[in-house]
Amino acid sequence: MQMLMPEPQIFVERTLAIIKPDVAHKEEEIEDIILRSGFMILQKRKLQLSPEQCSNFYADQYGKMFFPNLTAYMSSGPIVAMTLARYRAVSYWKELLGPSNSTSAKKTHPHSLRAIYGTDDLRNGLHGSRSISTAEREIRFMFPEVIMEPIPTGQRARDYLNLYVKPTLLAGLTALCKEKPADPMVWLADWLILHNPNKPRLQHHGTEKKHQ
């Protein structure tokens, strides 16, 4: 009896990452870890928040004892905000960060980012969104000019691939098999650029009339 393999599905999430003021100088080092951990950095900006902006960003923490210290700390210097993307981005980024208390992280998760870059519960080095809905709100806060279009998943992703990707890719692979080039990947990349159905068409009618 032949086993039916499940169709591959595409699930991509976005999450917000913040390198906090006291470790902002480690930006390149941390970015390298992020990229090697399978994330894409979709957006990045370096900025300094005012205490009022910090209060708005951490509005869900308002009223807690540490809130004044948190807003003072987060507005004390430049931060680096990044939108990260990958499969299960929210949970994978939280796992890479480790426990929010860096002192505990050093004992239980010594290889986590907060164990490496943080010093205590407040100054824990980095921030990560708690959930997908929180990530959407936080990304809009840090990158207000970015349009957050929903990424297709499940059947919508398969429909998108069938409509916009597979016809051109199939034609390219067929041409590749006929050509049998020495470097098939480079050849296919060049072919896809040349035969991109969404490539803009240049209009030369005005130029032709001038030369007639």
Q: Give the residue numbers marked as catalytic.
A: 127
Both structure tokens of 120: 């205590």
Work out whether strand 126-128 and strand 40-47 pair parallel, antiparallel, or are unpaired.
unpaired
Per-residue tokens: 7: 């169709």
Per-position DSSP letters for 143-182, written without gaps between them: -TTS--PPPP-HHHHHHHIIIIIHHHHHHHHHHHHHH--S
> Which residues share a beta bridge with 84?
15, 41
Alpha-carbon distance of 81 to 67, in angstroms, equals: 20
Amino acid at 50: S
79-86 and 126-128 beta bridge pairing = unpaired
Going by C-alpha positions, the residue among 16, 13, 12, 11 that lies closest to residue 137 is 16
For 186, phi then psi, to 5°, come to -65, -40
- Tokens in use for 206? 């005005």
Place of tokens 């959407």: 136
| CA–CA distance, 52 with 199 (Å, rounded to integer) | 45
